[in-house]
Amino acid sequence: MTKKLYPHFNPEVHKIESKIATVRTSHHCKYNINYHIIWIPKYRKPILTGKVVEVLKAIIEGQCQEMSISNLALEIMPDHLHLFVGAKPTVTPFKIIHKLKGNTSIQLRRCFPDLKYLGYKQHFGSGFDNLWARGYYCGSAGHVSQEQVKRYIQEQQGKDVFEYDIYGCPTELKGQLTIGDFTK
C-alpha cells in the first residue's frame, strides 16, 4: 500500500512540542488552540508535486495570514497534506478547512489548468468540479491532558498554579512547567 511510499508527518522536524505550549493573547483572553488538519486530492491522485507544491505552500501561507491563524507546520506529500495551525477561539476548524480547501482549489486550477482533470492524460468532458476530496481529518492538540484538567478543577481551592506536561517533554522537566498568573 502507500504507507511506505511517503514519510509521515514528523512533528519533531517542525518543533511542534514547543509551539503547542505557546499561549497566545487576544484583547480579552489567553488561549492555546491548535489543529492538525489533513486532506487529500480527489481520488487520492498523486498530483501534489513539483511547482504545485511551491504554489500551494504560498497560497496556504497567505490564507493563514488573512484568517489571522498561525501556520505552525505544513508538509505536502504527493497524495495528501498535513497542516498544523494555531487559531483564535473565534475561528472554528470548519471555517479554516472550508476556506483553505476552497481557495487552494480555485487558485491552483487557475495556475495549473491540467489540475482540473486531476492529472488524467485524456481530458474527457469539462473536467472535475473539485480538486480536493470532500472529507478531511481534524484533530485538536493542546499541552494539557484531560486528567490534569480534572485534577486542576478538583484542587482549585487554594491553588494558584496549574501544572501541566508538554507532549514529548523530557522527564527531567516534568513538574517544573506551570501556568500561573494570567494578569501579566
- Could you read off the pLDDT of 59-92 as tens digits, one per residue? 999 999 999 999 888 888 898 998 889 899 999 9
Same structural domain for residues 158 and 121?
Answer: no
Same structural domain for residues 52 and 105?
Answer: yes
Inside any domain, residue 1: no
Same structural domain for residues 21 and 57?
Answer: yes
When mean pLDDT is compared across 13-22, 78-87, 88-97, the lowest value belongs to 13-22
- Could you read off the pLDDT of 127-162 as tens digits, one per residue? 567 889 999 999 887 665 556 655 655 565 455 544
3-class SS of residue 46:
coil
Range of the domain at 48: 12-142
In this predicted model, which residue has the larger pLDDT, 2 or 5?
Answer: 5
Q: Which residues contact 121 (CB under 8 A, 6 or more apart)?
A: none
Same structural domain for residues 87 and 137?
Answer: yes
Query: At 104, which CATH number?
Result: 3.30.70.1290
CA dihedral 8, 92, 104, 17 (to 10 degrees): -30
C-alpha cell at 91: 475561528
Confirm if 56 and 76 have CB atoms less than 8 A apart. yes
pLDDT value of residue 39? 92
Same structural domain for residues 132 and 154?
Answer: no
* Spatial separation of the C-alpha atoms in residues 22 and 30, rounded to whole Å: 10
